[in-house]
Amino acid sequence: MDRRNQTIIIGYSGHAYVVLDILHSQKIKSVGYCELTEKKLNPYNLSYFGHERDQQILKQLQEYQYFVAIGANQIRRQTLEYIEKENHQKAINAIHNTAFISNTATLKSGIMIGGNVQVNAMCTIGKGVICNTSCVIEHECVIGEFSHIAPGAVLCGNVTVGQNSFIGARAVVKEGVVIGENVVIGAGAVIISDIPNNGKVVGNPQRFL
């Protein structure tokens, strides 16, 4: 069997379980995982390959597809960029078969798009972004690398999200708003104006912490 059609998951816990279900919906076969140590809980019956920073394991990864299934933005970034640099190998995308993605949208690599997600016209989704279950990304939005749009969040048209930012579950971002890098927006927040880099915002209407 051609191993290049099989996938290794980097990271194996809650977020990875979601990714594995997404890959299953795409009929992509996942055969193993990489972690620091072997997991006692193995609900998907995957083989343990070892740690991805082990040079022998990295070499073995070149024979497969891979996806970095780590929820924390910064750790996901460090891991994916390390593998890219060492192996000159891009991660695949995990896109649920119930998601809608406009033909005019631009998707980079290593992206997770969950069930019932809507990505509308002329959007750009950066490398390593998580678009979680049922979020809506309206026309011409730009999502920076390694950001996370949580379940049910709504980004109205022409919203820009900087890299490494987190938009909480069911948050709503008004059209045209610019959200900086490393921003955290709380669950259910309503964002009506720009958020600078490193801002932390909650509430309806928004207030800074």
- Cite the active site residues: 139
Report DSSP letters for 18-73, one per residue: HHHHHHHHTTPEEEEEE-SS--S--TT-PEEEE-TTSHHHHHHHTTSEEEE---SH
Residue whose token pair is 């045209």: 176
Torsion of Cα atoms, 185 then 191 then 194 then 195, to 10°: -20
Measured CA to CA, the distance from residue 80 to residue 138 in angstroms comes to 27
Burial of 114 (0-12, 13-18, 19+ CB in 10 A): buried
